[in-house]
Amino acid sequence: MKRCSTSYVLFCGIWFVWVLALHVTAKECIENLVDYDGTVSTTDTGRTCQQWSETYPHSHQLTEKLGDQHNYCRNADNEPFGPWCYTTDAATRWEYCTVPHCDSYDNSPKPEQNCRMDQQGRNYTGKVIKTRFGQTCQAWSSLAPHQHPFSVKMADHENYCRNPDDEDYGPWCYTTDPDTRWEYCDIPYCEGADNPEKDHWKRGWQRYEDSCYSIQYTKKNWFDAKDFCKNNLNAYLAEIQTSGENNFLMNLLPKPTLDDNFIEVWLGGNDVESEMFGRFIWSKSGSEFNFTDWGPGEPSRYSEHCLSTHLYRDRKLHWNDRTCYWGNFFVCEKR
């Protein structure tokens, strides 16, 4: 028998300690809703989880990210009720998993909230049971007439409007009408809440450092918006030079609402006036961007050559290239 060298024994010892550390680190309970790394592989209703490395029976785009996680329940996209998985049942795409909470997890009941603090209204725990168009809500514990993945996690919420999946426009419910799967509910805003449907940036000039800005609530194409700023306000479409200026504007500019779900705002950048498409410059100064806040996959650079805001999945405004002849609100700037 060959004798193990000292270095080989040392390597084996380090490898064993590393494997043991991984085993000890993995927890079979939830401390928070995102970082679960245990081995539960069945859903709330007892279905077996599909392997993350497989795309059958349900195709998905998480094979690269989770391909080494077997078929264990995970929460790679920050679902509000924790770990989940695709299932091996072709008729059920995904479900949450039954994973116990750790002793340190705060699962205390929250006081009832009969209004919403923001557009999403995740805080709402009131008892509205009708949609904004008068449909009666289906009980969350029921799978008829509409099947869904919330039957266990939401079972004690009866048929009250809720927002279990972070819908942009607030609380909703499945309906008892077989022909209408779900609808939003008309939930009032709390006093002093951030109400994007009513509290757009007020008209007039807003100051940040050496510039003043004015939002124009009339929809124009990019070229007409640029001319309006120049001819009516002795100003120009806003040019963003720093992250501080960008944060100031992105936090104040209007976002889409339930009643107007396509709100974007023109800024002063484009690649039309440069020597080649794809090279964005600020129209007023003629300078290239020295700061950017593009949304994922932007700029797309097809037939979209002018700069606007857009609401992305993080529910924040970022930059987007848009066809210049689209009608948008716009923001003017002057020193």
pLDDT band at residue 277 under the 50/70/90 scheme: low
Written as six digits, the tokens of 5 are: 């060298």
CA 103 to chain centre: 29
* Residue 11 or residue 65, greater confidence: 65
Please name the amino acid found at residue 335. R
Three-class DSSP labels, 26-67: CCCCECCCCCCCCCCCEECCCCEECCCCCCCCCCCCCHHHHC
pLDDT at site 224: 96
Residues 207 and 252: their CA atoms lie apart, in Å, by 12
Among 12-16, 92-96, 174-178, 242-246, the minimum mean pLDDT is found in 12-16
Written as six digits, the tokens of 144 are: 């008829």
pLDDT at site 19: 42
Q: Averaged over 189-204, what is the pLDDT?
A: 65
pLDDT tens digits, one per residue of 59-78: 998 999 999 999 999 998 88
Residues 214 and 230: their CA atoms lie apart, in Å, by 12
Q: Averaged over 157-180, what is the pLDDT?
A: 93
pLDDT at site 156: 92
Give the three-class secondary structure for 162.
Answer: strand
pLDDT at site 225: 96
pLDDT tens digits, one per residue of 284-322: 999 999 999 999 989 986 788 999 999 988 888 999 999
Extract the runs of DSSP E, i.e. beta strands, from the chain: 84-86, 94-96, 172-174, 182-184, 206-208, 211-220, 236-237, 265-270, 281-282, 306-311, 317-322, 328-334
Q: Averaged over 243-256, what is the pLDDT?
A: 90
pTM above 0.85, yes or no: no
Residues 72 and 70: their CA atoms lie apart, in Å, by 6
Residues 289 and 279: their CA atoms lie apart, in Å, by 9
pLDDT at site 275: 53
pLDDT at position 24 over 70: no
pLDDT tens digits, one per residue of 97-138: 988 888 766 555 556 789 988 888 888 999 999 999 999 999
